[in-house]
Structure 1
């Protein structure tokens, strides 16, 4: 095969153009010449044989499309001549051979994390402020502006800054440090607290009771998250998402309720000023305690890593995604947890994942969640085949099955230990499948709500996504993106495309970076940009 073209599996009848192929040139495939009869842009697919209507397009050895119009050998595979088609699957497992990667060199590798009372280990130390309903978003913003500026975490200005300044001065006076804090503050008051995160949203009332339950489950996951020291919760009082539901969801994840949760009800408090002054006072005292936490060495097996992609291109499935999959296998081999989500982007690879499930029950649950999701999409005259975005299509991912075949590479080859629905919390070491949309922010929000302490996020087009409490490591599928958007990309996997780096070598570099980020030795680009995206999934059709 010419280095300008890649055939991903011997069964494939299309190849990936690694560089733009000009008509009139010839590539060599399986010791045979293949003439290029039209321009094939880089990342797009070239027909390696003549294809006729009804023929199936094969990539990675699996069905990713169906031919609608004749495609000559050496012609461009595009939306004008191919439509979505995926292989059918059954719930019956055909257990795959046990495969693994060698994690032994990483066995003694540790990261510096925050060990919580419940035994979980975080990579950051945050306090979170959350509303139970969108009516409280303004009050959350008031707290954000007051705390962030006065505590040295950001900029803002409102009438409650004075209140926080008084709290600082009061404590400083009791410790004989008034002069230290009387001046304008630029440094952080709480050096061991990485920040306070304010998670506003548009849910909590007006939807179904199931929406309110799911929201409370998600927020409980964030409170229980090992990167979180505790939470301040603002409630209006009359909304569907009641504080009692939140606490029940939190007990389901942490029966001992080992973290402080401060709940304030505006309708009981009366005036807004009364509500916010109480919330500021009690939260400040809780921050003093949260600041006592310090990092200590923890084995890499304590990591929980989300496997995510967004703004994918035709190279994602051959560079960044396989590298992340190899990292996942390394972490699983160490006894850690990894999580593969985005169910609309697993359509077409269901049988492969079913075969990797450790039990029939897990295979049945995965199939049931996929089928239910697909039925909801069809009920509103949509479907998984609507998933690829204009950017995906423009850069070579022309069908959902083609996109899924590459996206699934993020899950590596490890057996699937668990299957969870949104907004459940991760339960077992190993690889977990989590039902979420393909929407980048909704899916990352869900993964972190399920306990992911670091998220590995691949992109071929450039996506700035971050998260309020977990570092999101952005991995580019091509070096041109890393050079063009260095402010959002943390790691370049493009050298896999040109052959100068193997998948395994790139993955080990990525794991090393991830451990340093987990230890707080360096921040992700999203953290530096204060990109704190948080969108709860309202259980409808979101692809």
Structure 2
């Protein structure tokens, strides 16, 4: 098989191998992963893949021609939204799967046990990093139940409006990291005069100062050196307390997995994403939660998700996000089709519509039970959605703040992403890239393309790795130390 046609309604197929003129009806070279016209397509006619519109022919396209950015144009597609019309009831799993996790006083369960040094503003970032760096591997070896001391620093927190979307999003991120179940204790560090005041955060979100939550600011303590010394002393007091936490058997229903993709290619929507979608369905059947994000990367596929919404209220929230993003890109003189990236296009993707239809497959087939703001706490069980940009670090930061204790990341072009405090596994869409980036990839979904495995089999492999990594097995990104610099809160609005 040299091409794959995903639906009888499609007028393009995807080349599984590079095609020369004369091969499989090609009239010109077709790169691997790119699209081949199955029939003549007139200028202005819809181009169909996944039985959905991915764009419009910008010129007449003959059968066998290469269909890509030179002859396929993006155009907004008017969608008719239906709600709760494609609900597939979840059949609870016959047996309850378990993992070894950290049961917190809040009742939630962590898959890791970190101490976080959180900053309210960029002005305290250096102090936070100095504090965390003081806890060397030799020191941490004395506390085997503590995964590390990590500084989560960012480039904002001041010079921003005191209210509105951006300020609220940053506060949700800080609050979300402070209460993520993978965090055993928190030290929060500020400068003192910033817009994003620590005292406000404590009061607004009900954080309780004590042995597991401490705060300080540079101006009150008396400068950088004294702040670093005080921070080290505070964490030295926390370490033996956090080390007392031990893993115990916990049900898979306590897992919340951030579903993410980056460096996508034409295979993303054919292999890795559907396999992750099946893993999500398996988790939902256990009573767990999957959190899809990246709103620009479901644009053009949102009608498929609203049909799976449990009711019109949930589906309506998703449409409100789409409307906000259309306005956001317009007022910033952008386009929703600015995504895909050059790398995505080189891998065979052409328009955001095509990319979105593949990206949405990570959500499986279960009903959509909740839609949330960026970094808002996810409280619903099942398959959910959180608003975020398509920029991977910012999106994952929001998912972790929302409560995700694991992250699953698909990639076709290749990614070296990793995250803390929630471990990130990576799924390769094709075997060539998996072999090339073997130190970074955890699962090879390219087996689906060759027929060596089914979507369901790879989905089961992914789900079973979720249980193992939740119990402490290191992912390849974790083993390489990734995650210290991938904390990137989404910065929205004016900087003044």
Please say whether Structure 1 and Structure 2 have the same fold, judged by a TM-score greater than 0.5: yes
Q: Does 1:323 align with 2:321?
A: no
Deviations 1:203-257 (A, max 9, x none): 1101222333321210110111010011001111100110123224533xx7x78
Alignment-derived partner of residue 125 in structure 1: 113
Q: 2:135 aligns to what SS in structure 1?
A: helix
Q: Does 1:197 align with 2:185?
A: no
Alignment-derived partner of residue 288 in structure 1: 240
Q: Does 1:523 align with 2:478?
A: no
Name stretches of at least 5 consecutive residues in structure 2 with no aligned partner: none
Residues of 1 paired with 2:418 and 2:15: CA distance?
Answer: 31
TM-superposed deviation, 1:354: 1.2
Q: 2:149 aligns to what SS in structure 1?
A: strand
Q: Residue 370 of structure 1: which of 322, 327, 330 is its match?
A: 322
Q: Using a 3 Å threshold, how does the CA distance of structure 1 residues 540 and 14 change in structure 2: closer, same or farther?
A: farther
Alignment-derived partner of residue 491 in structure 2: 538
Map 1:85-96 to 2 at 5 A: 85-90=75-80, 92-96=81-85
Name stretches of at least 5 consecutive residues in structure 1 with no aligned partner: 27-34, 153-187
Q: Does 1:242 align with 2:197?
A: yes
TM-superposed deviation, 1:103: 6.0
Map 1:203-214 to 2 at 5 A: 203-209=156-162, 210=164, 211-214=166-169
CA contact (8 A) 2:190 2:217 kept: yes
Q: Residue 142 of structure 1: which of 122, 125, 130 is its match?
A: 130
CA contact (8 A) 1:348 1:401 kept: yes
Based on CA coordinates, which of the two structures has the bigger radius of gyration? 1
Map 1:45-444 to 2 at 5 A: 45-90=35-80, 92-99=81-88, 104=93, 107-149=95-137, 151-152=139-140, 188-209=141-162, 210=164, 211-251=166-206, 260-444=212-396
Residues of 2 paired with 1:274 and 1:259: CA distance?
Answer: 20
CA contact (8 A) 2:265 2:412 kept: yes
Q: Using a 3 Å threshold, how does the CA distance of structure 1 residues 267 and 52 change in structure 2: closer, same or farther?
A: same
Count of paired positions: 490
Q: Using a 3 Å threshold, how does the CA distance of structure 1 residues 244 and 427 change in structure 2: closer, same or farther?
A: same
Bigger mean CA deviation after superposition, 256-265 or 50-59: 256-265
Residues of 2 paired with 1:117 and 1:93: CA distance?
Answer: 41
Q: 1:151 aligns to what SS in structure 2?
A: helix
Q: 2:136 aligns to what SS in structure 1?
A: helix
Q: Residue 36 of structure 1: which of 26, 34, 39 is its match?
A: 26
CA contact (8 A) 2:84 2:312 kept: no
Residues of 2 paired with 1:74 and 1:461: CA distance?
Answer: 26
Residues of 2 paired with 1:5 and 1:283: CA distance?
Answer: 57
Alignment-derived partner of residue 4 in structure 1: 2
TM-superposed deviation, 1:150: 5.1
TM-superposed deviation, 1:356: 1.0
- Per the normalisation by structure 2, the TM-score is 0.96
Bigger mean CA deviation after superposition, 267-276 or 108-117: 267-276
Residues of 2 paired with 1:423 and 1:514: CA distance?
Answer: 22
TM-superposed deviation, 1:22: 1.8
Q: Residue 490 of structure 1: which of 431, 435, 442 is its match?
A: 442
Deviations 1:175-206 (A, max 9, x none): xxxxxxxxxxxxx1111101111111101101
Deviations 1:36-56 (A, max 9, x none): 211111111111110111000
Deviations 1:326-353 (A, max 9, x none): 0111111111111010000001112111
Residues of 2 paired with 1:469 and 1:14: CA distance?
Answer: 42
Residues of 2 paired with 1:94 and 1:191: CA distance?
Answer: 49
- Per the normalisation by structure 1, the TM-score is 0.87
Alignment-derived partner of residue 404 in structure 2: 452
Residues of 2 paired with 1:128 and 1:52: CA distance?
Answer: 58
Deviations 1:348-403 (A, max 9, x none): 11211111111111111111111111111111210111111100001100100000
Alignment-derived partner of residue 171 in structure 1: none
Q: 1:425 aligns to what SS in structure 2?
A: coil
Tell me which stretches of 4 or more aligned residues in structure 1 moved more than 4 Å: 100-103, 256-259
Bigger mean CA deviation after superposition, 305-314 or 357-366: 357-366
CA contact (8 A) 1:6 1:15 kept: yes
Deviations 1:299-336 (A, max 9, x none): 11110011100000010100000000001111111111
Calculate the aligned-residue CA RMSD, in Å.
Answer: 1.7
CA contact (8 A) 1:377 1:383 kept: yes
